[in-house]
Amino acid sequence: MTVHSKEPGTVEARALPTSALFARATPADGRVAAEGQSVREAIAFSPVKWLGVSGGLGAAALVAFMVCLGFGTEAISFPQVATLLIQGVVAEGGAQDTTQSIILWQVRVPRVLLAFMVGGSLAAVGASLQALLRNPLADPYVIGISSGAALGAAVAILFGVGLSVFGLSVLPFCAFLGALISLFIVYRIAVAYRSFSVHTLLLGGVVLNAIFSALILFLTSLADPYKASGMYAWLMGSLTGPDFQTVSVLAVYLVLGVSILVAQARSLNLLTLGEEAARSLGVEVERVKRVIFAASALLTGSVVAFSGLIGFVGLIVPHAVRLAFGADHRLLLIASGLVGGTFLMVADTLARTLLSPTEIPVGVVTALVGGPIFLYLLVQQRRRIVS
Amino acid sequence: MIQHRETSNVPPLRLTDVTFGFGRKESAAQSPVLRNVSLTIAAGEVLGILGPNGSGKSTLLKILMRILVPQQGTVEWFGQPPDAFSQSDIARYVAFVPQETQQAFPFTINEMVLMGRYPHHDRTWGLGWEGSHDRAVAMQAMRDLDVAHLGTRLITNVSGGERQRAVVARALTQEPEVLLLDEPTAFLDLHHQLDIARIIRRLNRERGLTVVLVSHDLNLASQYCDRLLLLREGEIVAMGTPEDVIVAASLEPVYGCSVLVDRHPQSGRPRVTLPV
């Protein structure tokens, strides 16, 4: 099945061929003006727009970061947050040892930073997978990559396989392997159908998710109750209680992964045309695919290892960013990263404050927000195929 | 790198005894899509590839673009073996227009056409923004194909004909010496069919662009090609000028139906019609 995807609300575009023909039959003088405009548009684009958009989104993320830091059982006012942050960074010997300062620096900053990095990475992976699979509904969670990573991590947790090798934790590595294997399976499914049908891929993802979940539940049932309850909490997606060391280790993986993806941005643009077209334009398709696979698995694996299953961020964020700023991956990946990070910071702040002192798992929040949006997009996709 | 760009007497593309099949080696050898195809494409010619469905036309084109690699035989680009180049080396000299372009993402026509500059920046570090030269080349191609006024429209929101013209503009933005077209007029109405054919002809005459096109439209091919090639089940059954190839004796066995061949009243080129 081929997907002639069109933007929402453009059904009338179908009527264009005849009107275009008439327009051509009597070349209008307006054409010249229109051409001039298009030159201007072409010049007023990319690097300037890139700087403007990513700068703006970066500033918005910073503001959101500071606002989110203020929320919690102990409310801290915005100016207070700013003062404490500046003190902590600039002042000799760090901030003063007040209660607020300790809460801020040791509890909230790591957590909100973790939320930002996890959200940003998931969104960047989502955007890349969508290009690679030529499917606007791809998302590491929906198509089963995250549960593959979770299975890898679950195996590591429950069997406690030599918890660290050469000083590195084995957990992220197992999650990385799990993500890589499921990504490979999903890709084979997509390729088997040649035309990358939206529905084939989603169906494959559903089945993969079911298989991996069953295996994870099976493993959990073997574990002792204490471990098992920890597993359940982790599976629902949680950003609870990270320390600075965890966050900085994760930051290394994530910055590396996202940089690799951004470096492939132009190739991703061409891959949306299909592999044959991309090759004809000079893309070394096999190499680029391998790189994107590895980077996506690295990101998904490390995110899942640290924060469990958080779904739909990789789906809704790139979709919204594409609507707002266009499809060029050079901008899309950066913007998705910033918006995804901001989104998850806010979602996590809601998760920990709405029913305070009880915490809602953040994965539940993103699924409740993202799931309905996903269904809406799916119905729309269906309409586009029919029309 | 391709060394012989200025040496005009080196044929841009040459196939020798090429055999190609899909799938694993054994099945590919058993039912090849192309069999012992030898072909030399001369600089500056317009070559048309004709044949019924499944005769291997598109496959031949994809081998010329190194999208597919044949199991047997050799392919030379500008007199050199394929492993002399990276894929983007080839893409700077040969451009390919696929039969149909699907695009699920909202790129503008400008962005789409500028993608043709990719092979010229393949070693660029950073995000590889296109410079003013790149944009000038793209703009010229868009003017040639009459899509410049659509620059900011989304590729997902234009008609099939406009999209196809944008794709040809993207191919020209690669600044190729050889243009490969897979049924460039298949989804176009009569008016735009003629448009594309004339533009291609003009680029060939004015800039010496070598053109290889696959077509189901015998009359269009007869009208606009210098040389035609007729494929049947992966083998070349006829090759030569339109007058040599568009004759009932070679067409009838290949297409399995009787045809009438007369002359076009204006150009004198052979013209095919179906009997009543």
Handedness of CA B17, B77, B213, B61 (dihedral sign): positive
Percentage of the residues of chain A whose pLDDT score is greater than 70? 81
Using the structure block, give the residue that is written with the tokens 């084939």. A200
Q: What average pLDDT score do residues B168-187 get?
A: 92
Nearest CA-CA distance, residue B67 and chain A, Å: 6
Instruction: Tell which A residues from 267 to 286 touch B, by Cβ distance under 8 Å.
Output: 269-270, 272-274, 276-277, 279-284
Confidence bin at A25 (pLDDT 50/70/90) = very low
Confidence bin at A96 (pLDDT 50/70/90) = low
Measured between CA atoms, the residue of chain B closest to residue A35 is B149
pLDDT digits (tens, 9 = 90+) for A107-131: 899 999 999 999 999 999 999 999 9
Interface probe, candidates A49, A273, A382, chain B, greatest B C-beta count within 10 A: A273
Rounded Cα distance, A369 and A125, in Å: 19
CA proximity to B180, closest of B89, B15, B21, B47: B47
Q: What is the pLDDT of residue A280?
A: 94
Question: Which residues are B108's β-sheet partners?
Answer: B154
Instruction: Quote ipTM for the complex.
Output: 0.90
Q: What is the pLDDT of residue A13?
A: 35
Q: What is the pLDDT of residue A7?
A: 39
pLDDT digits (tens, 9 = 90+) for B3-32: 444 445 688 899 999 999 887 666 667 788
Measured between CA atoms, the residue of chain A closest to residue B131 is A43
Indicate the residue of A24, A266, A322 with minimum beta-carbon distance to B105: A322
Measured between CA atoms, the residue of chain B closest to residue A36 is B149
Report the alpha-carbon angle A49-A54-A55, nearest 5: 100
**pLDDT at A34 > cutoff 60:** no
Q: What is the pLDDT of residue A6?
A: 38
Q: What average pLDDT score do residues B179-190 get?
A: 87
Q: How many C-beta atoms lie closer than 10 Å to residue B256's C-beta?
A: 9
> What is the amino acid identity at position A42?
A
3-state secondary structure chain A: CCCCCCCCCCHHHHHHHHHHHHHHHCCCCHHHHHHHHHHHHHHCCHHHHHHHHHHHHHHHHHHHHHHHHHCCCCCCCHHHHHHHHHHHHHCCCCCCCCHHHHHHHHHHHHHHHHHHHHHHHHHHHHHHHHHHCCCCCCCCCCCCHHHHHHHHHHHHHHHCCCCEECCEEHHHHHHHHHHHHHHHHHHHHHHHCCCCCHHHHHHHHHHHHHHHHHHHHHHHHHCCHHHHHHHHHHHCCCCCCCCHHHHHHHHHHHHHHHHHHHHCHHHHHHHCCCHHHHHHCCCCHHHHHHHHHHHHHHHHHHHHHHHCCCCCHHHHHHHHHHHHHCCCHHHHHHHHHHHHHHHHHHHHHHHHHCCCCCCCCHHHHHHHHHHHHHHHHHHHHHHHHHC
pLDDT digits (tens, 9 = 90+) for A361-383: 898 899 898 889 888 887 876 55
Contact A24 B189 (CB under 8 A): no
> What is the amino acid identity at position B55?
S
Q: B1-93+176-196+206-242 adopts what CATH topology?
A: Rossmann fold (3.40.50)
Would you list the domain boundaries of chain B? 1-93+176-196+206-242, 105-175
Q: Residue A106: CB partners within 8 Å, gap ≥ 6?
A: A243, A244
Q: How many C-beta atoms lie closer than 10 Å to residue A311's C-beta?
A: 23
Percentage of the residues of chain A whose pLDDT score is greater than 90? 36
Confidence bin at A31 (pLDDT 50/70/90) = very low
Rounded Cα distance, A125 and A314, in Å: 7
Pull the structure tokens for residue B173. Answer: 């933005």
Q: What is the pLDDT of residue A14?
A: 32
Of A147-151, A222-226, B106-110, B194-198, the one with minimum mean pLDDT is: A222-226
* Phi, psi of B28, deg, nearest 5: -65, -40
> What is the amino acid identity at position A111?
R
Average of per-residue pLDDT values in chain B: 88
Of residues A166 and A272, which shows the higher confidence score?
A272
pLDDT digits (tens, 9 = 90+) for B231-270: 999 999 999 999 999 999 999 999 988 999 999 999 889 9
In chain A, which residues have their Cβ closer than 8 Å to the Cβ of B170?
281
Q: Residue A93: CB partners within 8 Å, gap ≥ 6?
A: none
Confidence bin at A37 (pLDDT 50/70/90) = very low
Q: What structural domains and CATH numbers belong to chain A?
A: 11-74+107-386 (1.10.3470.10)
HSE of A340, CA atoms in CB hemisphere, 13 A = 31
Indicate the residue of B62, B86, B139 with minimum beta-carbon distance to A276: B62
